[in-house]
Chains A and B, each alone.
Chain A
Amino acid sequence: MALISIPPDITFIVLAVVTIIGSIIALQAKELIYGAVALAVSFIGIAGFFVFLDAPYLAMLQIAIYVGAIVVLILFTIMLVRREVMDELTDTPEHGEGTAGLWLAGLLAVAIAGVAALAGPDLPTQPKPADLRVSDLGPVLAIQYPIPLIILALLMSAALLGALVLAKLER
């Protein structure tokens, strides 16, 4: 028996607010460090969505890789780049950019709402993957989708080799 039960709608709204506010601060923060922290909060919000959608494995990897590695990389870059170089790179928002962004966001919202309205009635009838264990993911990847897996592995090794070549070139 759970002592406290939270209605799913409230969970969704809280997660959505945390994620969206986090990403807005990440874009708008004057101090880049605060931007990186807000980005981490937004990533954790997305991980919360994965938990909410019964995908805890994905949620944990989201935290470990996005917050634990990518945000660290961003922090590292912010702290090692000299202040003057950073100020040159960051441009001030030009007149009308905000309005254009709002228009774009509105259009995107209308498009998503349209798609949801068209597909709406069919969505809840999707079978819910009941009690999918982590150990079931391996066979699905290795037997059902071997070719995408191999292509992904090739892509990763290409990226790694590229990074090594770039690091060598700089010397």
Chain B
Amino acid sequence: MVLLPPTPAEIVALIIAIVTSHTFVTIVFFPGFIHLALIVIILTWYERKLLARIQLRIGPLYAGGPGGILQPMADGVKLIFKEVMIPYKANKPLFLGVPLMLVFLAALPFAVIPFGQNWVIANLDVGLIFVFAMTSLFPSMILLFAWASNSKYPFLGGLRSLFQQVAYEIPMWISALSVVMLAGSLNLMDIVYAQSKMWFIIPALLSFIVFFIAILAELERLPFDLPEAEPELVAGWFTESSGAIFMVIFMALYMKLYLMASLVTTLFLGGWWGPGPLPQPVWFIIKTLIVATFIIIPRGVYPRLRVDLLIKLGWTRLLIIAIANVFLTILLINSGILSSWGLP
């Protein structure tokens, strides 16, 4: 048999088949790259507008398009065309490589977050642990970047970030444990299905509160933004970053914000479930943006916490509450009150 070279029509048909396949669409368009990039742009704009409204700042009257929606694009163009300054004696490979790693680590967990029954890239059986494993790599990357900058403010910020993220990771994991016990699975899809009758925020209210405080610290948001405390450390661990490097780091940070908000939605707010004819991903994104709003609001409201209070809160309050909550959840499950909601 002679193998004929493929005709142009066949190649076009193959390309169309690949581009329209579900795998390609989910990776590139909807829960994947393009959606994430758009969300990052929208979130930066949204945070500025929201904080301005909270603090009653009117700001400039003309700022690119209706409501200043073109401002993020202008920022992006500006940052791309700015010179990338690499500090003298900085560790070049780490200084340039770590920001890319940060974006990679922030984007990868979206592969397992279910945006709808069919809108998930990989339905992993260990999805929750996968998300936590990826986010647990953040502190080491931040410390590496801080060290690579070879400057004292980034280094102090990196050490603070490490302290904080390691301290608040443990309450975060343990408070998610009660959700896992209620759903009986680590698969995020199964966790959402288990919330078809009742969202987990009701039976696991305490763990929701602990989880929310822990993710505020994980995201270095106020009142826990010690790693980038402006009055003391200039900009914390990314002080030396400039131009495109700064943009990449910012993208990673906002992607992580969106990741944590969508994790809260998945674990506690019923994922894609919602009344009415709206499609599932729309419900998911609406809920996630509401959670993101509540993550952003403290930045306009609260002062910064002191270092010792932060560590004390993490290790002696949140951890104890999280562990007590595990036993409370076991009691709830064994009492059988939850059986009317289809839970164990």
Residues on A lying within 8 angstroms of B by beta carbon are 3, 33, 37, 40, 56-57, 60-61, 63-64, 67-69, 71-72, 75-76, 79, 133-135
Q: In the complex, which of the residues A40, A64, A76, A133 has the most CB atoms of chain B within 10 Å of its own CB atom? A: A64
Task: Decide if A64 touches B125 in the complex (CB within 8 Å).
Answer: no
Q: Which residues of A contact B139 (CB under 8 A)?
A: 68, 72
Task: Decide if B129 touches A68 in the complex (CB within 8 Å).
Answer: no
Instruction: For A60, give its contact among B91, B126, B166 (CB under 8 Å).
Output: B126
Task: Decide if B133 touches A63 in the complex (CB within 8 Å).
Answer: yes
> Which 4 A-B pairs rank lowest in CB-CB distance, beginning with the nearest?
A68-B136, A64-B133, A60-B129, A63-B133
Task: Decide if A75 touches B143 in the complex (CB within 8 Å).
Answer: yes
> Can you list, as one digit per residue, whether each of B111-138 has a CB less than 8 Å from chain A (1) or not (0)?
0000000000000111001101110110
B71 close to chain A: CB less than 8 A = no
Task: Decide if A3 touches B125 in the complex (CB within 8 Å).
Answer: no
CA distance A32 to B26 in the complex (A): 41
Task: Decide if B140 touches A71 in the complex (CB within 8 Å).
Answer: yes
Task: Decide if A134 touches B137 in the complex (CB within 8 Å).
Answer: no
Please give the distance in Å from B89's CB to the nearest CB on chain A. 13
Instruction: For B162, give its contact among A3, A33, A72 (CB under 8 Å).
Output: A72
Task: Decide if B124 touches A56 in the complex (CB within 8 Å).
Answer: yes
Q: Which residues of B contact A79 (CB under 8 A)?
A: 143, 147, 155, 159
B21 close to chain A: CB less than 8 A = yes
Instruction: For B21, give its contact among A3, A63, A75 (CB under 8 Å).
Output: A3
Q: In the complex, which of the residues B23, B94, B130, B159 has the most CB atoms of chain A within 10 Å of its own CB atom? A: B130
* Given A33-B144, A37-B144, A40-B140, residue A72 in contact with residue B166 (CB < 8 A): yes
Please give the distance in Å from A61's CB to the nearest CB on chain B. 7
Task: Decide if A67 touches B125 in the complex (CB within 8 Å).
Answer: no
Q: Which residues of A contact B166 (CB under 8 A)?
A: 69, 72
Task: Decide if B137 touches A68 in the complex (CB within 8 Å).
Answer: yes
Considering the complex, give the chain B residue whose CB is closest to the CB of A55. B126
Q: Which of B163-177 contact A (CB under 8 A)?
A: 166, 169
Please give the distance in Å from A3's CB to the nearest CB on chain B. 6
CA distance A100 to B137 in the complex (A): 36
Task: Decide if A56 touches B125 in the complex (CB within 8 Å).
Answer: yes
Considering the complex, give the chain A residue whose CB is closest to the CB of B140. A72
Please give the distance in Å from A149's CB to the nearest CB on chain B. 17
CA distance A12 to B34 in the complex (A): 33
Q: List 13 A-B contacts (CB under 8 A).
A: A56-B124, A56-B126, A60-B133, A61-B129, A63-B133, A63-B136, A64-B132, A67-B137, A68-B137, A75-B140, A75-B147, A134-B185, A135-B184
